[in-house]
Amino acid sequence: MNPQPDFASLGLAPALLRAVSETGYRTPTPIQQQAIPLVLTGRDLLAAAQTGTGKTAGFTLPILQRLSASPCPQLAPGRPRCLILTPTRELASQVHESVQAYGKHLSLASLVMFGGVNINPQYQALRRRLDILVATPGRLLDHADQKTVDLSGIEILVLDEADRMLDMGFIRDIRKILARVPKKRQTLLFSATFSDEIRELANGLLHDPGCVEVARRNTASELVAQSVYMIAQKQKRELLVHLIRHHDWRQALVFTRTKHGANKLSEYLGKHGIGAAAIHGNKSQSARTRALAEFKSGAIPILVATDIAARGLDIDQLPQVVNFELPNVPEDYVHRIGRTGRRGLSGQAVSLVDGEESKLLADIERLLKRRIERAEPENFSPSPPSPDTAEPRRSEPRSPRGAPSQPRSSHGRAPRDKSNRPAGSAPAHPPRRDAAPRPAPHRGDSSAPRANARPRAALFSGKPAGDKG
Ligand code: AMP
């Protein structure tokens, strides 16, 4: 008896097992152990799992197997058999990379499409045979309206991060897409939270689904050391520069609440000799892709992001997350710090908290069921306010959860970003090494309850997503 299941025991074909082993995975994650055999049977699936759990392989591997087991040699161009919908362009790209990696020994054709990029190459690609299409809803509908893609041959439909798609106001687009795919199909729905709206969507979509739930990978996980610096808003930028230098942070994802704030902070860091780029919904896709690639490769040490832009990002071994401002919604804190401490590696999450944010901090601590350690910056003496540091806070209210994150166009979709602006990334200087690198203080709290000790009700009690289209 082998107590540790391996991929072969899940019923995967040799070509997929080879690809998995070449990827370096040895053991299936819990979501993979549960989802793969279920999806292979052709059943619908409702899965409570978020990015970081290995969910992408959990649905991609069995889909590849099912499609390759019933090949369609006469497949019409631009008429995919499987559609995977994701909320963001970055997630679409990541999912497509997985499709390519796991499907490399099969002869299935795949394509990723999203807005913010030139549509012409997509027209070209849709003139060819296509088994798997990974898409964001808006651009997909553009193609469906122009009849450059035909969704009438969909056998398998996946809604990835369905909760975030609703949060981002995609419900109407999703309904329009659903009206174009066959009723008889296999449907897989992945969501980190289960609001009434998600349940309603799932009830209408899924037929006798198998349900799979994995513990939230997050939070109070002792792998993420969390700490808070109480600091006036005006002094946060200076403190951030100090922390980056003092601790020699070489790869940190910094969250701001607004797009404007992300731009300003990235510029400020650049002026102080710290390579940084901003990533948010107003950036062109090419700028976002470039910034992410530079950050992942280590060319720039700091990526400043808004919540929506960072959602779904999977960055290998990200050691440091900084909340430059706390999010309005406590669950977003959990998503943010979940960018680090992945796959058994330890990570740190630092929050810079102004007195005005105390209530938000209290809400987060209530959710985590633990107090986050307060830290004092070592050797930090903020300079007196100057025109540079005392700039008034610009109010750019963050969309509440459930409201569209971008202005809506008249037909209810976020406007496509057609600009091709440069990344705006600051020169890629490494952080100055004027302070000796020092190990960060240990902030573990072994007495804290684990995230997955949260009652089931909490996992499934996501707030109403609000957007009714
Ligand atoms: P996901 O939740 O699908 O975004 O996956 C999170 C990360 O886990 C990705 O970087 C995957 O490459 C990685 N991953 C997925 N499955 C496994 C596995 N069985 N073993 C190790 N890493 C994995």
- Index of the ligand 1 atom closest to the CA of residue 25: 20
What is the assigned CATH class of domain 224-374?
A: alpha beta
Residue 29 beta carbon below 6 angstroms from any ligand 1 atom: yes
- Index of the ligand 1 atom closest to the CA of residue 23: 12
Residue 311 beta carbon below 6 angstroms from any ligand 1 atom: no
The candidate with the shortest Cα–Cα distance to 326, out of 280, 360, 356, is 360
Q: What is the largest CA-CA distance in the chain?
A: 72
Is domain 7-213 classified as CATH 3.40.50.620? no
User: Rounded to the nearest whole angstrom, what is the distance from the C-alpha of residue 418 to the centroid of ligand 1?
Assistant: 32
Residue 52 beta carbon below 6 angstroms from any ligand 1 atom: yes
The overall pTM is greater than 0.85: no
Instruction: For residues 319 and 316, give the distance between their C-alpha atoms in angstroms, rounded to a whole number.
Output: 9
- Index of the ligand 1 atom closest to the CA of residue 94: 4
Asked whether the beta carbons of 139 and 121 are under 8 A apart, the reply is: no
pLDDT at 235: 95
> Residue 451, exposed/middle/buried by CB under 10 A (0-12, 13-18, 19+)?
buried
pLDDT at 222: 57
Residue 50 beta carbon below 6 angstroms from any ligand 1 atom: no
Asked whether the beta carbons of 233 and 390 are under 8 A apart, the reply is: no
- Partners of 190 in the beta sheet? 47
pLDDT at 386: 55
Each domain of the chain, given as residue ranges in start order, spans: 7-213, 224-374
Domain 7-213 identical in fold to domain 224-374: yes
User: Rounded to the nearest whole angstrom, what is the distance from the C-alpha of residue 49 to the centroid of ligand 1?
Assistant: 12
pLDDT at 345: 62
User: Rounded to the nearest whole angstrom, what is the distance from the C-alpha of residue 324 to the centroid of ligand 1?
Assistant: 28
pLDDT at 289: 83
pLDDT at 167: 83
pLDDT at 454: 25
Instruction: Compute, in degrees rounded to 10, the torsion defined by CA atoms 383, 387, 388, 391.
Output: 110
First to last CA, the chain: 52
Nearest CA to ligand 1 atom 14: 54
Of 23, 90, 214, which is best to mutate to test ligand 1, by the most ligand atoms within 8 angstroms of its C-beta?
23
Pair of tokens at residue 170: 């995609």
Number of neighbouring beta carbons within 10 Å of residue 469: 11
Residue 53 beta carbon below 6 angstroms from any ligand 1 atom: yes
Q: Write the CB contacts of 427 (distance below 8 Å, at least 6 apart in sequence).
A: 270, 275
- Token look-up 């896709």 returns 285
Strands 252-255 and 302-305: parallel
Instruction: For residues 185 and 188, give the distance between their C-alpha atoms in angstroms, rounded to a whole number.
Output: 10
pLDDT at 400: 36
Instruction: For residues 397 and 281, give the distance between their C-alpha atoms in angstroms, rounded to a whole number.
Output: 14
Residue 60 beta carbon below 6 angstroms from any ligand 1 atom: no
Instruction: For residues 230 and 332, give the distance between their C-alpha atoms in angstroms, rounded to a whole number.
Output: 20
Residue 51 beta carbon below 6 angstroms from any ligand 1 atom: yes
Asked whether the beta carbons of 358 and 288 are under 8 A apart, the reply is: no
User: Rounded to the nearest whole angstrom, what is the distance from the C-alpha of residue 463 to the centroid of ligand 1?
Assistant: 27
Number of neighbouring beta carbons within 10 Å of residue 222: 14
pLDDT at 341: 65
Pair of tokens at residue 356: 């005005």
User: Rounded to the nearest whole angstrom, what is the distance from the C-alpha of residue 29 to the centroid of ligand 1?
Assistant: 8
User: Rounded to the nearest whole angstrom, what is the distance from the C-alpha of residue 207 to the centroid of ligand 1?
Assistant: 28
Nearest CA to ligand 1 atom 10: 314
Residue 28 beta carbon below 6 angstroms from any ligand 1 atom: yes
Nearest CA to ligand 1 atom 1: 54
Nearest CA to ligand 1 atom 16: 54
Asked whether the beta carbons of 310 and 262 are under 8 A apart, the reply is: no
Of 56, 90, 191, 345, which is best to mutate to test ligand 1, by the most ligand atoms within 8 angstroms of its C-beta?
56
Q: Write the CB contacts of 267 (distance below 8 Å, at least 6 apart in sequence).
A: 424, 426
Residue 57 beta carbon below 6 angstroms from any ligand 1 atom: yes
pLDDT in tens, the chain (469 residues): 445 679 999 999 999 999 999 998 989 998 999 999 999 999 999 998 877 788 999 999 999 999 999 888 778 999 999 999 999 888 999 999 999 999 999 999 999 999 989 999 999 999 999 999 999 999 999 999 999 999 999 999 999 999 889 988 899 999 999 999 999 999 999 998 777 888 889 999 999 999 998 765 444 455 788 999 999 999 999 999 999 999 889 899 999 999 899 999 999 999 999 999 998 877 787 888 888 889 888 899 999 998 876 666 666 667 899 999 999 888 788 878 877 765 556 688 999 999 999 999 999 998 888 899 999 988 888 877 555 443 433 333 333 333 333 333 333 343 333 333 333 333 333 333 323 333 333 333 222 322 222 222 222 222 222 222 2
**What one-character DSSP code corresponds to residue 172?**
H
- Index of the ligand 1 atom closest to the CA of residue 50: 2
Pair of tokens at residue 269: 């860091």
CA 201 to chain centre: 21
> Residue 107, exposed/middle/buried by CB under 10 A (0-12, 13-18, 19+)?
exposed
H-state helical runs in 25-130: 30-40, 55-69, 89-102, 120-126
Instruction: Compute, in degrees rounded to 10, the torsion defined by CA atoms 278, 283, 286, 287.
Output: -30
Residue 283 beta carbon below 6 angstroms from any ligand 1 atom: no
- Index of the ligand 1 atom closest to the CA of residue 312: 4
Q: Write the CB contacts of 62 (distance below 8 Å, at least 6 apart in sequence).
A: 12, 35, 36, 37, 39, 40
Instruction: For residues 345 and 338, give the distance between their C-alpha atoms in angstroms, rounded to a whole number.
Output: 12
Instruction: For residues 196 and 404, give the distance between their C-alpha atoms in angstroms, rounded to a whole number.
Output: 18
Nearest CA to ligand 1 atom 8: 54
CA 57 to chain centre: 15
Strands 156-159 and 186-191: parallel
